[in-house]
Amino acid sequence: MPGLAAGDAAIDRKRSSATAGKVGLLLLALLVLSELGGCGRAQLQPAGPVSAAEREILYDSLAIMLAIVVPTILAILGVVWWYRPSNRRARRMPDFVYSGRVELVVWSIPALVVIFLGGIAWIGSHDLDPAKPLRSHHAPLDIQVVSLDWKWLFIYPKLGIASVNRLVVPAGVPLHLTLTSATVWNVFWVPQLGTMIYCMSGMADNLYLEASHRGVYYGESAMIDGDGFPDMHFNTHAVSRDRFDAWVQATRGSGPVLNEQTYRALLRQSVPPHPYTYRSVQPGLFADVVLLRLPPGHGPQGAVPGVHPIGGSNVHPAELK
């Protein structure tokens, strides 16, 4: 799909120009201020309800704690300065070593903070449970995710197609992801959409996400999985319903078929030079992977020279492209 590829390039260009002159040294102040401003940061520029709610929780928790942390730091520095040996006005109290009232305050301030935060944690964990369906008047779109050495396979079971290293979704529709791994552990993470989750072989996790706006969102693996790890990233394209339908039609029209045989080729350690799609998928393939009816990845022993080999070598994807 040339249109999608052009979108990728545009995003890259926008990113680099927007950040050209951002080097600064007042890091702490910058961190707090610019982060609260939320300008152009991945998790802090949410593109869906999940990441938006998570950002809210992050800010609330941070604000509650800063209310204690900032005064504490100022108090530490203030006391050090005031009680310097040369300060004749400081009242010395070498015997001030215990005070029930101070103890009470000292234990209750952090305890109060924890009560607040504990409430946020409890409510937030339940609201944002990854396996909890999102509220929406659209039915969720099912997507099955398989992490492989070193690529992502996205199967659209109801649509009968699959895609490697590019996730295309309709904007505004909840996504029901079911995730597993056909190799070592991985973590599926699209920061602008929210919650990351482990992909583990022999198991399937559920995750609900949604992209509210159209756009291209960076996705990656957040768990070291060997030499191809830095290349385990993909773009998520959230497009309008019409464009999504058009993409599905186009996908069905061309490309290879994903069946047991072609799947076995995917098990080899390799990094595909560019994303591609499968025009049809053998039904039940995902279940076969989860239930280990299909074998897991070979690891380095299976690294047959041929299909995009990069295992253990120095070849960067930029050179492969």
Residues binding Cu ion (CB under 5 A): 200, 203
Examine residue 136 and tell whether it contacts other proteins (CB under 8 A): no
Would you tell me how many other CB atoms lie within 10 Å of the CB of residue 51?
25
Stretch binding other proteins (CB under 8 A), from 103-111, 138-146, 155-163, 259-267? 103-111
Q: Nearer Cβ to Cu ion, position 106 or 203?
A: 203
Length of the chain: 321
- CA-to-CA distance for 254 and 1, rounded, in angstroms? 11
Examine residue 125 and tell whether it contacts other proteins (CB under 8 A): yes
Examine residue 273 and tell whether it contacts other proteins (CB under 8 A): no
Query: Closest approach of Cβ 137 to other proteins, in Å?
Result: 24
3-state secondary structure of 165: coil
Q: Nearer Cβ to Cu ion, position 199 or 281?
A: 199
Query: Closest approach of Cβ 225 to Cu ion, in Å?
Result: 15
- CA-to-CA distance for 305 and 269, rounded, in angstroms? 10
- Residue 150: asked if its preceding bond is cis (omega within 30°), the reply is yes
Q: Nearer Cβ to other proteins, position 82 or 257?
A: 82
Instruction: Tell me the one-letter amino acid at 210.
Output: E
What single DSSP character describes residue 88?
Answer: T
Examine residue 5 and tell whether it contacts other proteins (CB under 8 A): no
Examine residue 307 and tell whether it contacts other proteins (CB under 8 A): no
Task: Please give the structure tokens belonging to residue 276.
Answer: 């591609």
- CA-to-CA distance for 264 and 285, rounded, in angstroms? 11
Tell me the β-bridge partners of 179.
145, 205
Out of 163, 178, 221, 235, which residue is the one contacting other proteins (CB under 8 A)?
221
Stretch binding other proteins (CB under 8 A), from 63-71, 139-147, 164-172, 273-281? 63-71
Examine residue 88 and tell whether it contacts other proteins (CB under 8 A): no
